Amino acid sequence: ENLRSLHEQLRGKAGTWGVFVRLGVYNGGKLLHQLADTPLLTCDDACNPQWCTWLQTELPVCHTPRAARVCFTLWARHLGKKDGGQTPLAWVSIQLFNHKDQLVTGKYSLRMWPNGEANPIGCNMENLSVYGSEPPELFIEFDSYVLPVEMPSQGADHITNRVKTPPQPDGDELIRIKRIIDQDPLAKIEKDDQRLIWKFKHFIITYAEALPKFLQCVPWEDYRQVEEMHTTLLSWSPLKPVDALE
């Protein structure tokens, strides 16, 4: 609802526009599955589009991390261009587990933030501003279950390490590991490098400064690997305060 204010962004741009909602589930800024889009609906100044469709992801509920959030972005697409001509109109994010560690279920109405695409590490609440024009509102519904779906409360001290004989890197792998650890904190870690760090996590456990890189390489979409990460942290060398600020 309330899309009238968003059409200001499209004024002066000739042609017909359609709108769709894009969904993504993230953990710490990392996308956990492929993005999912609703069908495209033609929209004018007075319309309130209704998709009435389910968006499904490939992420099993049992593998959903505790801090996972779902991000919605309302996009406008130019219907007269083959390349799409897409413009983000509004966005909103919500945690998938509430303060009771229960999976969100049922219907929600979320007031969206205008302008721009959802930031997976940005604001994680609906738009409660009372200033300016009424923001657009997105109505969504999550799956419901007979009983509440709760995040297991078992702590890391109850998790046993499944790796009996940790692998050891060879000379070339050791050089790659050192390069990854020493690279800029903001540098993107490629998939192959992530798998390398994860494979030899027990080898680098004595390198305290490697912790930030290690946490970037955790397969958050697999709860078994997340459990193993918690187990590994129990034995990790303590970080210096300055390094911990990274």
Q: Which amino acid is at 42?
A: T
Can you give the CATH number for the domain in which 198 is found?
1.25.40.70
Same domain, 24 and 58: yes
Check residue 136 and give its pLDDT.
Answer: 87
Check residue 197 and give its pLDDT.
Answer: 93
Check residue 4 and give its pLDDT.
Answer: 63
122: exposed, middle or buried (Cβ count in 10 Å: 0-12, 13-18, 19+): middle
Tens digit of pLDDT per residue, the chain (246 long)?
Answer: 666 666 666 655 556 778 899 999 999 888 998 999 999 988 766 678 889 999 988 888 888 888 899 999 999 887 766 666 788 989 999 999 998 999 999 999 999 998 889 999 888 889 888 677 788 899 999 999 999 998 887 554 444 445 567 788 888 999 999 999 998 888 889 999 999 999 999 989 888 888 989 999 998 888 888 888 888 988 888 888 877 776
- Is 9 part of a structural domain of the chain? yes
Same domain, 92 and 12: yes
Same domain, 203 and 229: yes
Distance of CA 174 to the CA centre of its chain: 31
Strands (E) located in 113-229: 113-114, 137-142
Same domain, 43 and 92: yes
Check residue 157 and give its pLDDT.
Answer: 46
CA-to-CA distance for 205 and 63, rounded, in angstroms? 25
Check residue 12 and give its pLDDT.
Answer: 54
Among candidate residues 108, 142, 176, the one where a domain is terminated = 142
Supply the range of the domain harboring residue 228.
156-244
Same domain, 69 and 167: no
CA-to-CA distance for 85 and 88, rounded, in angstroms? 10
Same domain, 132 and 164: no
- Is 30 part of a structural domain of the chain? yes
- Is 181 part of a structural domain of the chain? yes
Same domain, 182 and 129: no
Among candidate residues 142, 173, 208, the one where a domain is terminated = 142
Number of folded domains that form the chain: 2
Same domain, 59 and 90: yes
Can you give the CATH number for the domain in which 30 is found?
2.60.40.150
- Is 151 part of a structural domain of the chain? no
Same domain, 129 and 204: no
Check residue 186 and give its pLDDT.
Answer: 82
Check residue 195 and give its pLDDT.
Answer: 92
Among candidate residues 142, 170, 190, the one where a domain is terminated = 142
Check residue 94 and give its pLDDT.
Answer: 94
Same domain, 138 and 194: no
- Is 197 part of a structural domain of the chain? yes
Check residue 164 and give its pLDDT.
Answer: 64
Check residue 156 and give its pLDDT.
Answer: 43
Check residue 108 and give its pLDDT.
Answer: 94
- Is 150 part of a structural domain of the chain? no
* Contact assessment for residue 124 and residue 69, using Cβ atoms and an 8 Å cutoff: yes
- Is 149 part of a structural domain of the chain? no
Check residue 25 and give its pLDDT.
Answer: 94
Same domain, 102 and 164: no
One-character DSSP codes across 159-191:
PPP--SS-----HHHHHHHHHHHHS-TTSPPPH
Same domain, 132 and 106: yes
| Tally of CB atoms within 10 A around 64 | 22
- Is 148 part of a structural domain of the chain? no
